Amino acid sequence: MALSADRRMQARNPGSLTPAKVTASHTIYGGSLVERTTATGLVHPAADTASSTFAGVARERVVGNSAGTSVVELYQSGDFEFGIAATTEADVGSEVYTADADNAVATTGTTYKCGRIVEFLSTTSVMVRIDGYAF
């Protein structure tokens, strides 16, 4: 689902921050999953888009300006809590895909891989290691 506020971000060992230019008129909320449009290289909130790749997890809220010069800082490594539907302890070690700016899914649709489950927290929440998946 589209976020309307910053997301509480639980993270372990977040890596260094990487700057990325934001697509005009898009708001990226802190703690959200972010994707990069392959044609432009600009980033926007993850939204199950076929022509994009996983870019990382946003450090803070940024609103893209019309000139396309707004910059968000992204974590591209570390373990982050993601929402997920109907998961179990047996899913630890499985790769996950982006569903939207707040959630991952265990099966692919038009989305791309965004990490690997490293810890089961509940049936609707997991820790995901994004190392090697974001760029």
| Domain extent listing, the chain | 11-75, 79-129
| Contact (Cβ atoms closer than 8 angstroms) between residue 20 and residue 68 | no
Distance CA(60)–CA(30), nearest Å, equals 4
Residue 105 confidence (pLDDT): 86
Q: What is the pLDDT of residues 92-132, one digit of tens each?
A: 999 999 888 888 888 766 678 999 999 999 999 999 999 99
Q: Summarize pLDDT for 13-43 with one digit per residue, the tens.
A: 999 999 999 999 999 999 999 999 999 999 9
Across-strand partners of 57? 33, 75
pLDDT higher than threshold 90 for residue 89: yes
pLDDT in tens, 41-87: 999 999 877 788 999 999 999 999 988 789 999 999 999 999 998 88
What type of residue sits at position 3?
L
pTM of the model: 0.92
pLDDT at 95: 94
Query: What local confidence, expressed as pLDDT, does residue 110 receive?
Result: 60
